[in-house]
Structure 1
Amino acid sequence: MVNLGKWTSLIVSIFINIYLSCGTEVLTNHWLVELEGEGGIDAAKAVAKRTGFNYVSPLLGSQREFHFTHSAVPHIRTRRSIIHTRKLKAHPMVKKAIQQTGFRRAKRGFKPKIRGVPVSEIRLKDPESAKLLDYSKSYSYAEPQDPLFQKEWYLKNVGQSGGKPGLDLNVEIAWAMGYTGKDVTTAIMDDGIDYLHEDLKNNYNAKASYDFSSNDPYPYPRYTDTWFNSHGTRCAGEVAAARDNNVCGVGVAYNSKVAGLRMLDQPFMTDLIEANAMSHMPNDIDIYSASWGPTDDGKTVDGPRNMTMRAIVKGVNEGRHGKGNIYVWASGDGGADDDCNCDGYAASMWTVSINSATNDGQTAGYDESCSSTLASTFSNGKSTLRDAGVATTDLYNNCTTTHSGTSAAAPEAAGVYALAIEANRELTWRDVQHITVLTSKRNRLFDPYLKHHWKFNGAGLQFNHLFGYGVMDAGAMVDLSRKWKPLPERFHCTAGSVTEKMQFGTNQPIQMHIDTDACSGKSNEVNYLEHVQAFVTLKSTYRGNIVMFITSPMNTTSMILSQRPNDDDHKNGFTRWPFMTTHTWAENARGRWKLQITLAEGKNNAVDTGSFFEWTLILHGTKTAPYDNQVSDEENHNKLFKVKRLHKTLKA
């Protein structure tokens, strides 16, 4: 018998790929409808019924904005349904009606290529062991007995699959301290969760789950012959697979809860679906984990639309009863030819961008690098060795040892955050980012191509363009979290703008600067940095050859855009695109900031030209020293100890 559902889905997918690749706008059967006044859900349902639409839900809990669909309109089309929009607008209660466009969102996945170099031939250069917290003498601890635990090298690396012993998330220390994620919920925004799985069913939060593809509360993955929709189930197991039940392995936070938000399993995405998923039950969900983003083709520049950005900002400001939801994002799998600062989700200061490392400390060949990456976890080990992937749950009560990509990295980080939140329920979204910076470690992470080196910023914090501030350390994170004191208020300061039109070309850079007092003497004064954003407008004959560096007053240089050879755009360029860096964390913001822009040499030695139009510098941080109230000692929290000492020196 022919599976009509499968073939229909395949045909729809082919058509939308053709439309999008040709630059044709794709329209959906989803509408954003805004009512006059505070009509509420009952009014919205009445409008939908009167106009022949289907009521779906409010947008971000609003009493005025709603999600409608229309059954008679195809899921995808190339022309706007003007007649249906007009019918909505003709209703006296409707203020605005906008048919939603469709766009690509891709799951992060393994791409078995490492720039032509076999993984087994790469050797570690200049190894450095991190000093890890050791509470083994203070806490009793029994190792999990799950059948795949010995293969979960990212939890306990003893050298299996060619790894480096000790290069792991150091979760056993956190577990020995008694933190396992109790009463913390992570939402897996993906293609669904097999919530009937023996390793997940007892840790599944049904109340906080929803299927945004089918508009029902049952986010079970849709069947495919290729098991393509196993992605969310695999991510969920990394976070919350049960312990000692003789099934698969164990999750990073094995007593925490996972919720399924099914929204990826469709040939298109809309702003409405993304926004509603990212704002779903924000007081019941602590962490949202996303292992997807714009297409990793090395030429896409895309990010959250208006409503999705509103949802994220609302989440960090109001979620978790005002403490802020944690949004964890996979940095991307576009490899060395892509840059995650061109992914507006991973590069957002409201999200935590997580890159990955292999089990011997290298960057994986599919890893994208960018200055917005905060830290790293693990994806897969040496691909030539068996069971070198991430061991986790799989569809239909199965297990796998082949999960990989930065898809695998983000849920591991989410699991560590679940442990930290259990250790301190009062942690805010900013606390989580600060603690990540202060406890992540270089350990044995290294770039095998010697392109990106470890450096110290002006505040004495060590960072790397590939790995951020290092590999996350669950033991150190929960230890610092449980002692953590509230941070000073955060401010943002517009440091200045350069709007002079300038020309630049291949190997002919332009350099400009902004001198700033960081809003000194004003209510929004910024003296200690968190995130720095450079909003840049420019275009060139070959966008992928543009390379940009920003240098702080304390002489820390961040590459905010690297060369992307596949990006052949010559029309759009960048329009006020927010390039972001975390490399200047805890530095003093005052002084001269420099921006350098050039066009790197492209294919066939082509000579390109570009036009610069605008650069606006936005500084985010605190007026007072952020760590003055924190309890630290040089032995266990070396980074925090050094930064506190430096800040005291600067104030003196």
Structure 2
Amino acid sequence: MRDETTCCLVRSTRNRQKATTMEQWPSLSILLSFLLISAVILSLCQAAPEVFTNSFYVRLNGEHGHDVASRIAKRNGFENLGPVMGSKSEFHFVHRGLNHARTKRSVPHTRLLKADPLITSAIQQSGFRRVKRGFNPLKVENLVDVPLSHNDPSDPYFPYQWYLKNTGQNGGKPKLDLNVEAAWAQGITGKNVTTAIMDDGVDYMHPDLKFNYNAKASYDFSSNDPYPYPRYTDDWFNSHGTRCAGEVAAARDNGVCGVGVAYDSKVAGIRMLDQPYMTDLIEANSMGHEPNLIDIYSASWGPTDDGKTVDGPRNATMRAIVRGVNEGRNGLGNIYVWASGDGGEDDDCNCDGYAASMWTVSINSAINDGQNAHYDESCSSTLASTFSNGAKDPNTGVATTDLYGKCTRSHSGTSAAAPEAAGVFALALEANPSLTWRDIQHLTVLTSKRNSLFDAKGRFHWTMNGVGLEFNHLFGFGVLDAGAMVALSREWKTVPARYHCDGGSVKEARRVPSRGTLVLTLDTKACQGTDTEVNYLEHVQAVVTLNSTRRGDTNIYLTSPMGTRSMILSRRPNDDDRHDGFVKWPFMTTHTWGEYPKGTWTLEVRFVGDVLQAGWLKEWTLMLHGTRDAPYVNLPVTDPHSKLAVVKKAHEDRKKA
């Protein structure tokens, strides 16, 4: 797919949507270009002063390969850092004579590249901020000696790993954990599965990680070499990736630190966060690195969690993710796990284009007594939750590996939650290596548990959608249950092909009243009778263009024909934007999972806050994603009270009706 995109030039491709199966990723890419890439890039182009790096995206006029690209780079005074996502015609050039960050484009350098007869396009890369979620440089702790139960792992930090086995330690609620012992008891420990930690590096010489380290699947995109070891700093700032890696694959019974969720799985290190500014090419190459060696990509970072940023993946990065879910793992699809964000109640993770993407599994966190953590963001795109801090002492977090062979009990934030989910998914993939990326999402919905999770402030209650699935605006469909997911994975039958349907649009601009609510409705047949008919929902997007005198005071709700009401945008008190608004931004909800999309959808827009605001909803498009055929038809029901039983019965009743 030819890509001449610059920051504010995005092609609209809405009228080229097709049914998408695993083999049809180019049409999927086209759809995403409209839904997400254009939305993100257009909105970002209007943001505050842009930064330009010394990196350039270069496209050659044919598939000339790495050696030719290197010669082209050298004769023009550049260095070729390698291909973009393995392409033979797209490359990442850098000019060492330019500052890494500048406020103006270097027109002479761009012209020089474009003048080369073998180069068809050259784009200087913008720089942007990406932040680690939940980093807190707390004290590093040495090993401790504590008594263990007979059948427990003998690792000295295991008693502190309450998210693996909650016995009530540190004020926690007994049995509120990931239920990993039930998975381990089935003989499943993550064998032959690799999770890539996309972060600030991994201490691959750590005694708890070195035997589970996959060097072939690892790379350093910050320094452009195969050794993603963290850069030293006095405050141990670059311990983040090592801590995440230990949660997934720390070895068992070796007398060091704790144990990983999938302790026989492998981890790969992808160092990509440790440079002054992120670029689209670094992100894209990271998310597309070795997609047939890597099963799961775990990301505990994202746009700044300041409650006023609206940001997400750029063009090349979206192409990498789309290719990953459609071609990775030899066609089964890579699993991208994302931390939902640490902006607290003043932020909304639907304004984070990574966490709110359909192609990622967005994971929120809870503390060990079932409450949400104070830093948890809420949004309708969160699929499930795992764990972060303790209850009585917030500084007692997740026990895991730390830099230079050390251990910590202080890892926290949704940064700690995402790798736990990656570990659970690694267990599921060992139990059934044929699971697709969509199977993992369906399994997450069907096996996550409400357990004892609750909103400490009483804002968000557990609600049942139209087919009997319980969800919560904070926790998604509940806390991951490794034992249940592994058991169902073994019986699993791949879900039917997925389709994308344009459910209709409202194109006429409507004023949002200063007081009251703008209510718009769309009647849709969900592409009935066409190649893209959707009868059973997975993800739903409301693609919205809106401007207001204060973006942060906007609330948006979407209600399905079966009556499920999702808050797709909450108030963000720190967001003072009055110029950019939202430009074709795809607000996403998972709350209508399994429902029937035909009928009337309702969008409500209103302002909240003490000061009167004004605004216009310029456009709204409803995008429906799901299957034409009923999922789960061939799955046996062993528990009549399970989510699977409830949803299957709802689907059967609907068919009879």
What TM-score does the superposition give when structure 1 sets the normalisation length? Answer: 0.91
* Bigger shift: residues 75-84 or 402-411: 75-84
Matched, 1:285 2:294: yes
Letter in 2 for 1:226: D
Specify the alignment match of 1:66 in structure 2. Answer: 91
Instruction: Name structure 2 gaps, 5 residues minimum.
Output: 1-44, 138-149
1:349-360 matches, within 5 Å, as 349-360=358-369
Q: 1:383 to 1:82 in 2, by over 3 A?
A: farther
Specify the alignment match of 2:312 in structure 1. Answer: 303
Specify the alignment match of 1:75 in structure 2. Answer: 100
Specify the alignment match of 2:459 in structure 1. Answer: 451
SS in 1 for 2:601: strand
Q: 1:21 to 1:558 in 2, by over 3 A?
A: closer
Specify the alignment match of 2:120 in structure 1. Answer: 95
Q: State the shift of 1:356 in Å.
A: 0.2
Q: State the shift of 1:384 in Å.
A: 2.7
SS in 1 for 2:82: strand
C-alpha distance after superposition, 1:328-362 (max 9, x if no partner): 00000000000000000000000000000000000
Of 530, 544, 565 in structure 2, the residue corresponding to residue 557 of structure 1 is: 565
C-alpha distance after superposition, 1:548-574 (max 9, x if no partner): 000000000000000000000000100
Q: State the shift of 1:37 in Å.
A: 1.8
Letter in 1 for 2:159: Q
Matched, 1:378 2:387: yes
C-alpha distance after superposition, 1:259-290 (max 9, x if no partner): 00000011210000000000000000000000
Q: 1:546 to 1:172 in 2, by over 3 A?
A: same
Q: How many residues align?
A: 601
SS in 2 for 1:268: coil
**Contact 2:178-2:479 at 8 Å conserved across structures:** yes
Instruction: Name structure 1 gaps, 5 residues minimum.
Output: 1-19, 113-140
Q: State the shift of 1:86 in Å.
A: 1.1
**Contact 1:111-1:366 at 8 Å conserved across structures:** no
CA–CA distance in structure 2, aligned partners of residues 22 and 543 of structure 1: 13
Q: State the shift of 1:67 in Å.
A: 0.5
Of 204, 227, 234 in structure 1, the residue corresponding to residue 236 of structure 2 is: 227
Matched, 1:467 2:492: no
Specify the alignment match of 2:15 in structure 1. Answer: none
Matched, 1:639 2:648: no
Of 73, 81, 86 in structure 1, the residue corresponding to residue 111 of structure 2 is: 86
* Bigger shift: residues 366-375 or 605-614: 605-614
**Contact 2:170-2:393 at 8 Å conserved across structures:** no
**Contact 2:554-2:570 at 8 Å conserved across structures:** yes
Q: State the shift of 1:506 in Å.
A: 3.4
**Contact 1:376-1:409 at 8 Å conserved across structures:** yes
C-alpha distance after superposition, 1:28-64 (max 9, x if no partner): 1100000102222222112112111101111112111
**Contact 1:506-1:600 at 8 Å conserved across structures:** no
C-alpha distance after superposition, 1:197-221 (max 9, x if no partner): 0000000001110000000000000
Q: State the shift of 1:385 in Å.
A: 6.5
Letter in 1 for 2:652: K
Letter in 2 for 1:164: K
Specify the alignment match of 1:599 in structure 2. Answer: 607
CA–CA distance in structure 1, aligned partners of residues 169 and 131 of structure 2: 31
1:381-400 matches, within 5 Å, as 381-382=390-391, 384=393, 388-400=396-408
SS in 2 for 1:408: helix
Specify the alignment match of 1:482 in structure 2. Answer: 490
Matched, 1:312 2:317: no
Q: State the shift of 1:22 in Å.
A: 9.5
**Contact 2:287-2:297 at 8 Å conserved across structures:** yes
SS in 2 for 1:214: coil
Of 154, 162, 176 in structure 2, the residue corresponding to residue 145 of structure 1 is: 154
SS in 1 for 2:456: coil
Q: State the shift of 1:507 in Å.
A: 3.2
**Contact 2:507-2:619 at 8 Å conserved across structures:** yes
SS in 2 for 1:415: helix
1:158-197 matches, within 5 Å, as 158-197=167-206
CA–CA distance in structure 2, aligned partners of residues 523 and 161 of structure 1: 55
* Bigger shift: residues 411-420 or 45-54: 45-54
CA–CA distance in structure 1, aligned partners of residues 447 and 350 of structure 2: 24
Letter in 2 for 1:25: E
Q: Percent identity?
A: 68
Of 540, 545, 552 in structure 2, the residue corresponding to residue 537 of structure 1 is: 545
Letter in 2 for 1:607: L
1:571-582 matches, within 5 Å, as 571-582=579-590
C-alpha distance after superposition, 1:521-561 (max 9, x if no partner): 11111000000011000110000000000000000000000
CA–CA distance in structure 2, aligned partners of residues 357 and 305 of structure 1: 30
Letter in 1 for 2:118: M
SS in 1 for 2:56: strand
CA–CA distance in structure 2, aligned partners of residues 632 and 88 of structure 1: 61
Letter in 1 for 2:653: T
CA–CA distance in structure 1, aligned partners of residues 473 and 110 of structure 2: 47
CA–CA distance in structure 1, aligned partners of residues 266 and 160 of structure 2: 23
Matched, 1:611 2:619: no
C-alpha distance after superposition, 1:120-150 (max 9, x if no partner): xxxxxxxxxxxxxxxxxxxxx9320000000
Specify the alignment match of 2:254 in structure 1. Answer: 245
Letter in 2 for 1:642: V
Matched, 1:42 2:42: no
**Contact 2:287-2:320 at 8 Å conserved across structures:** yes
CA–CA distance in structure 2, aligned partners of residues 352 and 152 of structure 1: 23
CA–CA distance in structure 2, aligned partners of residues 225 and 383 of structure 1: 30
Q: State the shift of 1:21 in Å.
A: 13
C-alpha distance after superposition, 1:455-495 (max 9, x if no partner): 00001000000000000000000000011011111101100
Letter in 1 for 2:365: S
Specify the alignment match of 1:30 in structure 2. Answer: 55
Letter in 2 for 1:643: V
**Contact 1:102-1:270 at 8 Å conserved across structures:** yes
CA–CA distance in structure 1, aligned partners of residues 392 and 335 of structure 2: 32
What TM-score does the superposition give when structure 2 sets the normalisation length? Answer: 0.90
SS in 2 for 1:396: helix
